[in-house]
Amino acid sequence: MVQMRRLKPASRASNKAPRLTQAERTAISDGRMLEAAMALVLERGTHNTTLREVGELAGYSRGLASNRFGSKDELFAELIDVFNERWKKESSALVGSKTGLEAFDAANESIIDFMNDNSDYIRAMFILYYETVGSSTVMRERLAEQHGAYRRAIARYISQGIAEQTIKRTVDPTRVALQYTSFFFGLVYQWLANPDAIEFESALHDFRDAMIQVIGETDMAVRRSA
Amino acid sequence: MVQMRRLKPASRASNKAPRLTQAERTAISDGRMLEAAMALVLERGTHNTTLREVGELAGYSRGLASNRFGSKDELFAELIDVFNERWKKESSALVGSKTGLEAFDAANESIIDFMNDNSDYIRAMFILYYETVGSSTVMRERLAEQHGAYRRAIARYISQGIAEQTIKRTVDPTRVALQYTSFFFGLVYQWLANPDAIEFESALHDFRDAMIQVIGETDMAVRRSA
DNA sequence: AGTCCACTCGCTTGTTTCGAGCAAGCTAGT
DNA sequence: ACTAGCTTGCTCGAAACAAGCGAGTGGACT
């Protein structure tokens, strides 16, 4: 059970006036509520989280979450957007200007890094991802859009790898991309259901190696360099 | 929108007395309600399906679904159990007494068959599977149990394959099993989000071939027959 | 063997509780 | 005084539970 202590509400009565703009104020309360929502989703899933709890855990009233986000669905959509933003930033920081196989490996490692540092974050994110799949068409379309983006990103790395002759030219990038994303989503799914049973990092490395063994140019079928 | 016509309630006033036991009676109404629940989940997801609708679509009253299953969660748990039962039957029919690589391929094909014949069924089943992952601990444990069973089954086929020398003896069955189940769950997940983007059958075949290329004895790295 | 009563059990209906969502109201800064 | 962030009041609907209804059944008594 999450301790329902109310966080101090935005310290408005501070001695030196913080001098905030309106946008900054709402950003603070929104942030607090999103954080609270994440904690609650982690603990009980979206289903058993109420907007009342979100508002109160964030240090506000019963109704604020409703008032700001309009609906539960929109709150969670917002959460997913925040997650995606942060993920994209993390990933592109590690991939940088790399291309092809190198970029692919960097992306792979960025997932592992992100996972190690923010496993709760990731957990909540994917709970949202998976629960959304049975929702309204609107939500599902956004999800499909995201999935497509992942697949395209991977496919691009593979194409580059072919151009750079680190990957066999007989390989179909979109098929490989689908294999990779499928493996990844499925791995996370099983990890969510039973974290103890899944060795996340080594599973990803194993899969990467197996994949390169199939799609890499023969002299490339080596262990990734640490 | 599902047409909300009430099905004829169990024809008790039949001319030749059906002479049913209590257990048979409840089995009929339970079955009708599970069927209704499936249809509604398919159409709107678990979220937007009410117990009232389930009962009424099945041809009964507002409250029966509640009365029988106790809670929404338990109804869906029951649905999952029914699905699993049917799946297991289908699968073991095709696997039969096969072992090793043959059994693995048969299992793979059974999925494809089941998919082609009952895609709605599967769809509903996995919506439930994925939505459950963020639920209460009890539910998640059942899910974890299921996942573990799948992994163990695949691992057994791999082990047999090693014994039969169709699969390299350097292969770790549990790792390969995890790769396979991950791929499968992730593929279904993306298919749920966007059925049009995913070519289910060929994706499974592709993956199977890639896997065998890695784990099969060199002379085994051939296309599956048919 | 036939009649009747009481009981069982599948199903319904009444009711409570609680969450989502909306609207109107309040209040601290400008 | 006005704006804008936040709260409170309220309505609607779903879940869950309890009490009730009624058809069919078994047992007792004649």
Query: What's the count of helices (H) and strands (E) in chain A, helices before strands?
Result: 9, 0
Checking if the pLDDT of B211 tops 70, the result is yes
Residues of B in contact with A148 (CB under 8 A): 194, 197
What integer pLDDT is reported at residue A19 of this predicted model? 61
pLDDT of B215 higher than 70: yes
CATH 1.10.357.10 fits B72-220, yes or no: yes
Stretch B164-171: mean pLDDT: 95
B3 pLDDT tier (thresholds 50, 70, 90): very low
Binned at pLDDT 50, 70 and 90, residue B19 comes out as: low
Distance in angstroms (rounded) separating the CA atoms of residues B188 and B210: 18
Give B11's pLDDT tier (boundaries 50, 70, 90): very low
In the predicted model, what is the mean pLDDT of chain B?
Answer: 88
Picking from B14, B71, B12, the residue whose alpha carbon sits closest to that of residue B37 is B71
> What is the model's pLDDT at position B224?
54
pLDDT at A138: 86
Q: How many residues does chain A have?
A: 226
Mean of per-residue pLDDT scores for chain A: 88
A130 interfacial to chain B (CB closer than 8 Å): yes
Helices (H), A5-58: 22-44, 51-57
B162 CA → C15 C1’, Å: 64
pLDDT tens track for A81-135: 999 999 999 999 999 999 999 999 999 999 999 999 889 989 999 999 999 898 8
Domain A22-70 has CATH 3.10.20: no
Helix (H) or strand (E) holding A13: none
Q: Which CATH number fits domain B23-70: 2.60.40, 1.10.260, 1.10.3470, 1.10.10?
A: 1.10.10
The answer to whether B91 and B110 have CB atoms below 8 angstroms apart is yes
Whole-angstrom distance, CA of residue A84 vs CA of residue A27: 18
Which one of A9-13, A142-146, A153-157, B128-132 scores highest in mean pLDDT? Answer: A153-157
Comma-separated ranges of CATH 1.10.10 domains in chain A: 22-70
Distance from residue B74 (CA) to nucleotide D27 (C1'), in Å? 38
Q: What is the pLDDT of residue A212?
A: 94
| Mean pLDDT lowest among A100-104, A134-138, B160-164, B202-206 | A134-138
pLDDT score of A8 more than 50: no
Q: Do A186 and B190 touch (CB under 8 A)?
A: no
The span from the CA of A123 to the CA of A192, in Å, is: 7
- pLDDT of A176 over the 90 cut: yes
Percentage of chain B surpassing pLDDT 70? 88
Positive/negative CA dihedral, A185, A30, A49, A139: negative
Q: Tell me the CB-side half-sphere exposure of residue B41, using CA atoms within 13 A.
A: 29
Q: Using CB atoms, which residue from B127, B181, B183 is nearest to A179?
A: B183
The confidence band for A40, taking pLDDT boundaries of 50, 70 and 90, is: very high
CB A2 within 8 A of CB A40: yes
Query: Contacts of residue B135 in chain A, CB cutoff 8 Å?
Result: 45, 47-48
**What single-letter DSSP state applies at residue A219?**
G
**Confidence at residue A25, expressed as pLDDT on a 0 to 100 scale:** 82
At A226, the pLDDT band (50, 70, 90 cuts) reads very low
Bases of strand C lying below 7 A from some protein CB: 9-14, 18-24, 28-30
Q: Which residue's CA lies closest to nucleotide D5 at its C1' atom? A: A26
Q: Is A64 within 7 A of strand D by CB distance?
A: yes
Secondary structure class of A4 (helix, strand, coil): coil
Is residue B101 predicted with pLDDT exceeding 80?
A: yes
Q: State whether the beta carbon of B19 lies below 7 angstroms from any atom of strand D.
A: yes
Mutating which of B150, B168, B189 best tests the A interface, going by the most A Cβ atoms within 10 A? B189
On the question of pLDDT at A15 being above 90, the answer is no
State the maximum Cα–Cα separation within chain A, in Å, rounded to a whole number. 68
Query: Are B48 and A184 a contacting pair at CB < 8 A?
Result: no
Which residues in chain A have their CB less than 8 angstroms from residue B214's CB? 210, 213-214
Kindly determine whether the C-beta of residue A19 is less than 7 Å away from any atom of nucleic acid strand C.
Answer: yes
Separation CA A93–CA A90 (nearest Å): 5
Q: Which of A60-69, A136-145, B161-170 has the lowest mean pLDDT?
A: A136-145
**Strand D proximal to A45 Cβ, under 7 A:** no
Residue A220 in this model has a pLDDT that exceeds 80: no
The whole-number pLDDT of residue B2 equals 44
Q: Report the protein residue whose CA lies nearest the C1' of nucleotide C18.
A: A50
SS (H, E, C) A131-183: HHCCCCHHHHHHHHHHHHHHHHHHHHHHHHHHHCCCECCCCCHHHHHHHHHHH
A&B contacts, CB < 8 Å:
146
At B46, is the pLDDT very low, low, confident or very high (cuts 50, 70, 90)? Answer: very high
State the number of CA atoms in the 13 A half-sphere of B189 facing the CB. 32
- Is the minimum distance from the CB of B78 to strand D below 7 Å? no
Whether A9 CB is under 7 Å from strand D = yes
- Residues of chain A within CATH 1.10.357.10 domain(s) are 72-220
| Tens digit of each residue's pLDDT (9 = 90 or more) over A184-218 | 999 999 999 999 999 999 999 999 999 999 999 87
pLDDT for residue B194: 96
| Higher-scoring residue by pLDDT: A223, B87 | B87
Percentage of chain B modeled with pLDDT above 90: 77
Closest-CA distance, A41 to chain B, in angstroms, reads 8
Q: Are A37 and A49 in contact (CB under 8 A)?
A: yes
Q: What is the pLDDT of residue B219?
A: 66
Q: Is the pLDDT of residue B66 over 80?
A: yes
Decide: B143 and B133 in contact? Cβ < 8 Å.
yes
The per-residue pLDDT for B220 is: 57
What's the average model confidence in pLDDT over A162-169? 95
Tell if the CB–CB gap between A178 and B194 is shorter than 8 Å.
Answer: no
Which nucleotide does the CA of A25 lie closest to, via C1'? Answer: D5
Answer whether residue B192 shows pLDDT above 60.
yes
Residue A206 pLDDT: 96
Distance CA B16, CA B79 (A): 32
pLDDT of residue A168: 95
Window from A111-125, B2-16, B122-136 with minimum mean pLDDT: B2-16
Nearest CA to B150 among B180, B130, B170?
A: B180
Considering only CB atoms, which chain A residues are within 8 Å of B179?
Answer: 183, 203, 206-207, 210
| Nearest neighbour of B179 by CB, restricted to A192, A193, A207 | A207
* pLDDT for the residue numbered B175: 97
Q: B148-151 long-range CB contacts below 8 Å, 24 or more apart?
A: B148/A194, B148/A197, B150/B181, B151/B177, B151/B178, B151/B181
- Which of B45, B185, B197 has the CB atom closest to A189's CB atom? B185
Q: Is B170 on the interface with A (CB under 8 A)?
A: no
User: Which one has a higher pLDDT value, B12 or A124?
Assistant: A124
- pLDDT of B152 reads 98
Q: Which residues belong to CATH 1.10.10 in chain B? A: 23-70
Residue A5, pLDDT score: 47
